[in-house]
Each structure stands twice: as structure tokens, then as C-alpha cells.
Structure 1
Amino acid sequence: MTEEAGIFQNQDFSWFFWFTLPIYPFSKRRTLRKEVVKDTIWTFDQVQGIFYVVVPIRMTVVKLYGGGLFVYAPVAPTAECIHLVKELVAEHGDVKYIVLPTISGLEHKVFVGPFARHFPQAKVFIAPNQWSFPLNLPLSWLGLPSQRTQVLPDDSQQAPFGEEFDYEILEAIDLNLGKFSEVAFFHRRSRTLLVTDSVVAIPEAAPAIIQLEPYPLLFHAKDSATDIIPDNQANRCKGWQRIALFSMYFRPSVLEIKRWSQVFRDAFQAGDRSPKAYFGLYPFQWQPNWERAFADLRGNGRLFVAPILQALILNRAPQETLNWVEKVAKWDFQRIIPCHLDSPLNATPQEFRQAFSFLEREATIGKLPYHALPEEEFKILRQIDAGLSRSGIVPPSKL
């Protein structure tokens, strides 16, 4: 939390529309605000996840040069979150612009309309080619305020905030059932790049927002159903590193899934058989070398593209993606703020460019070596990719 953490009550964390995206932490969402650039940029972190595989989801707020605020990728507008935003409003001016920078991320879309209702004077800008599933509904049906919502112009200089921001729109990648795209924003004055899902980096220890409610960390720190895990930093770190492996690979190579007959037998001997602990069910068996797998994934905090994007999405439009990457890499940024995992990241345009080298045949680009993630970790994702392609659900990979 911020320094004002003590003023908030339990009801201030409530998100009453949790059923629109029924994932952990459901109806209770804490918010942590962090100042990234003094009096200029702030991040607002919340938590999201499935089966206690929890990661940060992030909104970024930028102070405009002439006063007022620019909001990139809103999070759940709980009373706590809105209070923290309005503290900035009181000091720096009203929220003027709200941006939805993606077309496929429901975890970003679902919050834009509710957030915008708290700031009725703000204009809402959305990435082009928005869609919804199973029906392609009008934007107003998705909760966006129709009278003040417009699509981002192709040319960033035509946007009302063009004097301070450049942006580049990734050409929409057709996935048959939907599309993928995101918009990268460059804040020239602070030399900061804002991205949604395209690149990430993993911290060694759990992010501060996740440590506010450590149960997921302790749950994944278990080696067996019978374990009772003390709450200490070592176990929190252990749980986080396993969560990171889950979130990136779905089923990492160092994880075995027990037979369900054994899982049920173990559950009867579990130290905690409460509903919160899934009644003692714990089907995971980690191999002794799992820490090495985390070290390979993290790569000492390097910038990389998440495996799901590598194996299931960007591989369907490698040239279009690289064209977008080249445009973004022309900006002179010195830090990157993604919407997930670690932030802010001290990274150069060359490092950003290098993260997408998996789309090319060459092992290196420029002066930086490309550190590919271990191919063995892609086994499940490759199987999913092949199955979806064979059935025609998604177009074939172009790699």
C-alpha cells in the first residue's frame, strides 16, 4: 500500500462486478500505488490469477505537461483505487484521457467502462479492431461510454495528447476466433515506454502487491499436501518462483502431476483441508532442479516475450510483429512499464528489440546475444499449438 494504507477499510477493497471476470481474488482487490518518476508517473498494481497462480496487473498514470492525468490500462476501480487516483487529481488535475491499449485482454477491457464512470469528463481512447466473443457486441454494450469513446487515430500526432506521446499500433493478428493487438506508448518527456503484454521481466522475489496477501505464495511453497508452511520470506520467495514457472509455461518440465488416486489419498492426510486449501488437494510434485528452471526463465531479470505469445500468437504474424517492434525501438526510451510482472524495467530500445529475436532465424541481433528460453519448456504449448492448428481453430504458425 501507500503511506496512507491505514485509512482503508475492508469494504474499500471490494470489486462488486467480479463476476464479469471471475478469477482470484474475486470480490476483494487491494491496490498499491508507486511513484516511478517524481511528480510525473505512478503505477497502480492489483492482483489476478487462477488456482493461486497470481501475478500483478498494472495501470499507469502519467501527469500531462499542462496539467491533468493520462491513464493507461485501467484496473478495477475499487474505492481504494479511486481514492488513490483522486489524491493525484487533487494535486495534478483531472483525469483527461483513459486508454485501452489492447483488443484481446479481457483483464484490461473489463475495467475501462467502470473506471471511466468515476471520471465523467475524461475522454476514452481504445485500440482499433476491438472484438468480443462469442458475439461481437457494440462497445457501449461492453460498458464503454459511447459519447466519449473513440478509436485511437493511426497517426499518434492526431491524438489530443500527441504533443507528449508517440504510439505505435501492432497490426491486428487474426486468430480466427478473435484478434490480438496492443498499442505501445512512448512518453517523450520521461523517456518511458508503456506496453501491455508484449514484454515482461520476472523479479526474484514476489512483487509487493502479492505480499499483501501471501496465502497463494505459501500454498505453492508446499512440497506435499501434508506440509504446513510457515510464513517467512524464504517460503514466500519459494512460492513466488514456482508461481512464475506456472504462469509462463502452464506446466513446466520440472513439474509432475500426480495420479488423482494418490492426490485424493494425500488429501485425507493434509494439514489443511479447508475450502481455501482446495480441501487438501495438491496434485503437484516438483523435481529437485526446479530452482534451476526458474533461474533459466528469469535470466537475471532480462526482458523477454512470454512463452504463450511466442508459441501461440506472435508466431502467426512474425513479420507484422517485427515491423511494429522496429518502430517502437526507434524511440529513445530508458525504462519500460509493462502491465504485468516486474516494473519499472531499466531497458534500452536494443534490449526491447532483442526480446523478439525468436521470430527470426538468426540467433543474435546487433551486439546482444539472444537468450532463448529452453525448448523443453515449450512442450505443452507446442502441443496446444499443434492441436489448435489441426482443428482449424487458429491459423497455422508462420515460423
Structure 2
Amino acid sequence: WALEQLLTFANVSATVRTIVIRLKDGSLWVNGPQWPTGEFCKLLDELGPVRHVVLPCVALEHKAPIKAFTKRYPEASVWVAPGQYGPFGTVGLTASSAKMGYRVDGVFPVGAPKAGDALPHWADEFDMRTLYVDLPENAGPVAETAFLHKPTRTLVTTDAVVFVPAQPPPIFSTYFAPSDAADPDFWAKSVIQAVFLPLREDGAAPRSQPAARWPGYGAVQGRLLRAPILRAFADARAPAEVRSWVASIAEWPFDRVLTAHFASPIKATPAEFAGAFSYLDGELPDIRCEDWRLLDGLNKLIEDNQLGAP
């Protein structure tokens, strides 16, 4: 199951999705839980008892709600990706290093689990691979744990890849007026701002063809891809580590991908997943050079001021 909330700040709006899987014993595995509102918890509780909580990455929008969520479900086990840092707590490579404001039962091992690594009780139903890159010059690591749910041949990711649909997800109607969503430019501009590309417009293209009118949108819509912000911030700094992580995931036998943002589930093979990272091997970019200027500027700001990894 997927439980969605809408993240909005400044001019950026994006779906944030919690992935919920019922395990063989009937308990719930909750990956990337969002804010535990009354509606959210009611829907979750209807599915079964929450026994396992997963914080799969270090991105702020995913770790910010965890303390409130674990307070609502204090008996659930909590496993987190390594390298947590910032205002919502810190964790190194072991649970004993955790200072998150809530109990942390375990930290996912870097790379593939090895003999002797501590693993969660539910590990028999999943395989896992953890990307972890320490970027000391940016004051914080980049990390994400991807999971293969073996019984359903499902790849569960958070930010690894996205698929931008042709229309805004239904949850956008809970915040935006119908007249706004009906504007031909609305979704294209929302996508461009969410992936941090500049609002470059081709005024000669008709408004009825948003992919032509907004080249940045046309470059990312309708296919599985790596989010530009992660290409710029993480992959450019650690291409070898990202390439190794992707290759290890592509060895798994999955036929669909679940993600935390934009559309999900996505029908995709391991080869298609790996193809979203083909730029790491020198394939010509699909996003024009001039459309990287916003991310280049943010990168420079991060490096000059040591603001922390994304």
C-alpha cells in the first residue's frame, strides 16, 4: 500500500509517499512514514499492527516525521539508513551512535549485508543494498537503502529514481484549486520546480504542448530517471559508489518499482532501472546544459558555505 501526503514549500510541491507492506506474520513494515495525522494513522491501522519502521535515507522530508511517528507507535522496531545528520538527529554506522530523540534498533549495513552483520527480524522477506558516501567537505553523508521485497518481486526505493507522469497526481487536488490544476502550464511548471530545473520557456510552442513549451519538463516526463538534484549533488561527487550500488540492485529479480515521489508503482525491469543511470557511463545527457545552471548554483552555494550534503 501507499499512503501519500503533499509536501509544499515556497514554489515547490511534491508527493511524498509512505510504502507499507504486510509481512507474513500479518504485521506492517512501514518505509519512510510521513506525519502521523489522524487520517494517516486510521488508514494505516486498518491494514494491521505497525511493528516495523524504516527510515531509508537521510533526506530531510523523510526523516523529519519519524520522531512523531515512533511516538505514535512506540512498540515498533526502528531501523535507519546510516549517516543521519542535521537538526533531526545523528546516527553513524551503528545503532549505539544514534542520537535521534527516539530508540534506534539498528542501522542498515553499507553495501550488501555480510556475514555477521546485524539485520532486522524481517530480513528473511527482503534483500537490501545501502548506498553510503561520506562527503566531509559538505558536512554530511549521502545514503539510501533500497529493498527487494522477495515475495512480490518489488523494488522499494525512496529517492533513487522517479517517474514523472503526464498529469498531476490526485493528491494535488487537496491543496490546489481546480482552476489552477487546469492551467496547461501548471503541471509542467510544478515538475520543473520540484526537480530544481530552471523555468526555461519556449514561447513559440503552443500551451497545449507543455513538453515542447517547457524543455526541462519534456526532458524528464514519461520515463524512469534519476532526479536531476541527485545527479548533481550526489552522483557527480561519488560516481563509482553510485554505479556499484545501481549494479548490485540491477541483479535482483524485480518487475516493478515503488518510489516516494511522483508516480508509483512503476512497471520496470532491472535493465530499465540501471538505464536511468546510464549517464554515469558517458551516455549523452537528456537535459540540456543550460538547464543545469540552477543546480550548478546550488552546488556552488553548498560547497562555498559547507551547508551539508543533500
TM-score range, shorter chain: 0.7 to 0.9
* Distance in 2 separating the partners of 1:99 and 1:317: 25
**Aligned residue in 2 for 1:117:** 71
d(CA) in 1 for partners of 2:88 and 2:68? 22
* Partner SS state of residue 53, structure 2: strand
Q: What is the CA distance between 1:388 and its match in structure 2?
A: 4.4
> Does structure 2 conserve the Cα–Cα contact (< 8 Å) formed by 1:296 and 1:373?
no
Unaligned ranges ≥5, structure 2:
none
Identify which range, 287-296 or 351-360, moves more after superposition.
287-296
How many residues were matched structurally? 292
Matched, 1:161 2:122: yes
- Tell me the CA shift for residue 241 of structure 1: 1.6
Does the 8 Å contact 1:169/1:184 carry over to 2? yes
Give the direction of change, closer, same or farther, for the CA distance of 1:173–1:88 in structure 2 (3 Å limit): same
Q: 1:322 to 1:110 in 2, by over 3 A?
A: same
Q: Matched residues, percent identical?
A: 30
Measured after TM superposition, the shift of residue 373 of structure 1 is 1.9
Could you list the runs of 5+ residues in structure 1 that have no partner in the other structure?
1-41, 219-230, 255-285, 364-370
1:322 and 1:308 map into 2 onto residues whose CA distance is: 17
| TM value normalised by structure 2 | 0.85
Partner of 2:37: 78
1 CA distance for matches of 2:280 and 2:176?
Answer: 37
**Higher relative contact order structure (alpha carbons within 8 Å, sequence separation ≥ 6):** 2
One-letter amino acid of the counterpart of residue 193, structure 2: F
Letter in 2 for 1:207: P
SS in 2 for 1:185: strand
1:252 to 187, 190, 199: 199
What RMSD, in angstroms, separates the aligned Cα atoms of the two structures? Answer: 2.7
Q: Give me the TM-score of the superposition, normalised by structure 1.
A: 0.67
Residues 79 and 387 (structure 1 numbering): CA distance in 2 closer, same or farther, change over 3 Å?
closer
Aligned equivalent of 1:234, options 182, 199, 202: 182
- Relative to structure 1, is the Cα distance of residues 387 and 87 closer, same or farther in structure 2, using a 3 angstrom cutoff? closer
Residues 245 and 295 (structure 1 numbering): CA distance in 2 closer, same or farther, change over 3 Å? Answer: closer
Partner Cα distance (1:288, 1:344) in 2 = 35
Superposition map of 1:142-221 within 5 A: 142-144=100-102, 146=103, 149-154=105-110, 155=113, 158-174=119-135, 176-215=138-177
What is the CA deviation profile of residues 66-97 of structure 1, one whole-angstrom value per residue up to 9, with x for unaligned ones?
221100000010011001101111xxxx2121
Name the residue aligned to 2:290. 376
Aligned to 1:331: 252
Distance change in 2, residues 1:233/1:313 (3 Å): closer
The DSSP-based 3-state class of the residue aligned with 2:225 is coil
1:176-228 Cα distance to aligned partner (Å, 9 max, x none): 2211110001101111111111211111111011112224xx7xxxxxxxxxx
